[in-house]
């Protein structure tokens, strides 16, 4: 059976990836910080889908833990066919805040860890001639909303660059760039969403299903749902001055 490794696998988009991949028969390696939630998720997925589930407790801001996950990705005796770099969190912190610890933590978890794990998976998959890497970015990558936009823009560009290096090897790289997805993500980040209309939201399982379909087709950028695909096209065509105006409006609406 194919094996998929998912970071941030016990909640939100990561948990949805775990369900979708298990449903199609993939064995799983779940990576997260919470040992208890990892055990609960592994037991449930194994029972419901009759698959093998391995867990790795890791804090991806800790280099030793990241390297432990990287070593699992490069273990030739236990190949990983799909990597989902999903671990992350909402970053509702001003760039001018003198306490930059949360920004530093975000860069470690959502940039440095993605770089290390993507490289480990890419090397291992290239040697076997097949594999998929999915990095969770965001449509925020097209905006200029603080460090979160900067982080997700990095993930998008990194994914495009890695896809270029792996072109022709049988290994694909896809940046998942969703709009608003219904998970606990925004609540945990302290981001107010009550004023948002229902139409902006994307069901998390649909988001994952469309991204897996795009990855299967070798698409480098995956934007789930037609409405958010249209928004991406508009953002590509807008002058940067307009993007800056929209970003300022959105940022102020959350303050």
207/36 Cα distance (integer angstroms): 26
Q: 148 an active-site residue?
A: yes
> Taking the CB of residue 28, how many other CB atoms lie within 10 A of it?
28
Cβ–Cβ under 8 Å, residues 194 and 210: no
The sign of the CA dihedral 111, 112, 113, 116 is positive
Nearby residues of 12 by Cβ (< 8 Å), 6 or more positions away: 86, 181, 183, 184, 185, 204
Nearby residues of 188 by Cβ (< 8 Å), 6 or more positions away: 89, 90
Q: Which residues of 228-253 are buried (b: 16+ CB within 10 A; e: fewer)?
A: bbebbeeeeeeeeeeeeeebeeebee
Q: Of 49, 105, 148, 158, which residue is the catalytic one?
A: 148
> Taking the CB of residue 210, how many other CB atoms lie within 10 A of it?
19
Cβ–Cβ under 8 Å, residues 90 and 12: no
Residue 65 φ then ψ, to 5°: -70, -40
The sign of the CA dihedral 72, 75, 80, 84 is positive
Q: Name the residues annotated as catalytic.
A: 148
């Amino acid at each position: 059976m194919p094996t998929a490794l998912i970071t941030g696998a016990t909640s939100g988009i990561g948990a949805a990836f775990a369900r979708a991949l298990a449903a199609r028969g993939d064995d799983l390696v779940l990576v997260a910080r919470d040992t208890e939630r990892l055990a609960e998720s592994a037991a449930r997925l194994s029972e419901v889908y009759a698959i093998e589930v391995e867990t790795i407790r890791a804090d991806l801001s800790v280099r030793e833990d990241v390297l432990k996950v990287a070593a699992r990705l490069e273990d030739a005796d236990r190949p990983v066919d799909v990597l989902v770099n999903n671990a992350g969190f909402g970053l509702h912190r001003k760039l001018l805040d003198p306490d930059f610890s949360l920004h530093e933590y975000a860069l470690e978890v959502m940039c440095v860890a993605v770089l290390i794990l993507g490289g480990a998976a890419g090397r291992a998959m290239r040697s076997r001639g097949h594999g998929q890497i999915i990095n969770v970015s965001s449509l925020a990558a097209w905006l200029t909303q603080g460090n979160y936009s900067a982080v997700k823009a990095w993930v998008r560009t990194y994914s495009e660059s890695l896809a270029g290096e792996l072109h022709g090897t049988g290994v694909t790289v896809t940046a998942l760039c969703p709009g608003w997805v219904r998970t606990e993500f925004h609540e945990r980040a302290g981001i107010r969403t009550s004023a948002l209309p229902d139409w902006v939201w994307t069901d998390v399982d649909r988001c994952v299903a469309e991204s897996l379909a795009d990855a299967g087709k070798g698409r480098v950028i995956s934007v789930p749902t037609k409405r958010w695909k249209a928004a991406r096209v508009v953002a590509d065509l807008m002058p940067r001055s307009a993007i800056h105006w929209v970003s300022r409006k959105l940022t102020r609406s959350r303050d």
